[in-house]
A and B are shown apart, each in its own frame.
Chain A
Amino acid sequence: MARRATPEVNAGSMADIAFLLLIFFLVTTTIEKDKGIARQLPPKEDVVDPPKIKEKNLFIVNVNRSDQLLVEEKLMELKDLRLAAIAFLDNGGAPSGSPEYCSYCKGKHNPDSSDNPDKAVISVQNDRLTSYKMYIAVQNELVAAYNTLRDRESERLYGWKFTEKTKDLDEGKIKGEGAKVAIQEKLEAIQKLYPLKLSEAEPKKSGQ
């Protein structure tokens, strides 16, 4: 029986088909880019004995319903908030020699402002009608203030930036378990120097 040789399949259109599929996936792809500001909510418990915070250790940021900022009783633009928060956190008002003295603070050491970064609390008060955009912008600026200070300290102590190392750790650029733990410890040490103390008051009902 004579068998006829099968004719070769023409693969010339293969590229076209592949291109078609490629374009389909190109169009439908949304590369995941979910990033955001992480927060830990306070647990729902009745606080029996609320800690007393001195007036001078409190930095009150008030946002009204037309998205205007009132910082420490003064009207302020959003762009000035970061520096104001840094000045407050980094003040180190406790006198040298006292146990609360902040040796690494580079602020004005004004006794009328915060004692040290551990004591300093930023309190944000929103109106219910504040826009979410403004809310996030304020949160972003306050986190930026903390990050600036943490960057400065980590650069002084270890020679690298806090935010960059955190990012490297997130993205898995640091190899080896030992190295990871070491970095983690250093990051925590920096966090301890400037602990994130943001408090959020229950928003007031508008017009009341």
Chain B
Amino acid sequence: MSKFTKKKSNELPPVNTASLPDIVFMLLFFFMVVTVLRDDNLLVQNKLPKADQVEKLKKDRSVYIYAGKPSARYQDKYGSEPKIQIGDKYTDLSNIKFALTEARQKLLPELQDKVMVALKVDEKTNTGMVTDIKQELRDLNMLKIIYITTPGNEIEK
């Protein structure tokens, strides 16, 4: 009966790795597509408060305002008082209007009327500063705002 017993080698066949580069490339392309390199260089500390009743931000029609204490490496130069940042530089409260108009002009023309202001404010900032910003926004008639938060809840700790 030895006629039917096939000769079996005891060695395991090596795993074929020929498709490994393809798999890796696929992953690579995925990450290349979803990557958004930060367009604003953060100059302020930005630890966002937590909230869970949130809505999504439509990125194409938004202008960002950052506020908080200057980052550690800028504190020597600018002190530790909370500051406002629009685009890549610090802005004074009186200068917000100009900076915002400038930022708005960078959006698509058809979306400029629907502009939404995203407030990224550090959780340790005072509400007073946010109120000041909001007053300026009302002057500019940019009434849609969104307080950017991180997922979570203040109560459950």
Contacts and interface: CB of A to CB of B under 8 A. Distances in A.
Nearest to A145: B53
B154 A41 contact: no
A19 B52 CA distance: 37
Interface stretch (A104-112, A132-140, A185-193): A132-140
Nearest to B117: A41
Contact of A140 (B25, B28, B35, B154): B154
A140 B153 contact: yes
A50 interface: no
A15 interface: yes
Interface residues on A, range: 35 or more
Given A41-B137, A43-B141, A128-B131, A133 B124 contact: yes
B49 A137 contact: yes
Interface in B75-93: none
A182 B75 CA distance: 53
A41 B55 CA distance: 17
Contacts of B57: 34-36
Contact of B55 (A11, A36, A130): A36
A14 B51 CA distance: 45
Given A38-B144, A133-B49, A137-B49, A126 B127 contact: yes
A127 interface: yes
B78 to A, nearest CB: 20
Interface stretch (A24-32, A54-62, A88-96, A152-160): A24-32
Contacts of A15: 17, 20-21, 24
Nearest to B30: A25
A199 interface: no
A19 B31 CA distance: 12
Interface residues on B, range: 35 or more
A42 B138 contact: yes
A21 interface: yes
A129 interface: yes
Contacts of B128: 128-129, 203
A156 B133 CA distance: 41
Interface string B85-125: 00000000000000000000000000000001011011111
A43 B127 contact: no
A19 B27 CA distance: 9
Contacts of A34: 56-57, 59, 118, 148
B155 A32 contact: no
Contacts of A127: 127
Contacts of B32: 25
Contacts of A131: 123-127
Interface in B52-71: 52-57, 59
A20 to B, nearest CB: 10
Contacts of B27: 22
A143 interface: yes
A98 B28 CA distance: 66
A48 B144 CA distance: 23
A85 to B, nearest CB: 12
4 A-B pairs with least C-beta separation: A128-B128, A133-B123, A25-B31, A137-B154
5 contacts: A36-B118, A38-B144, A129-B126, A132-B49, A135-B49
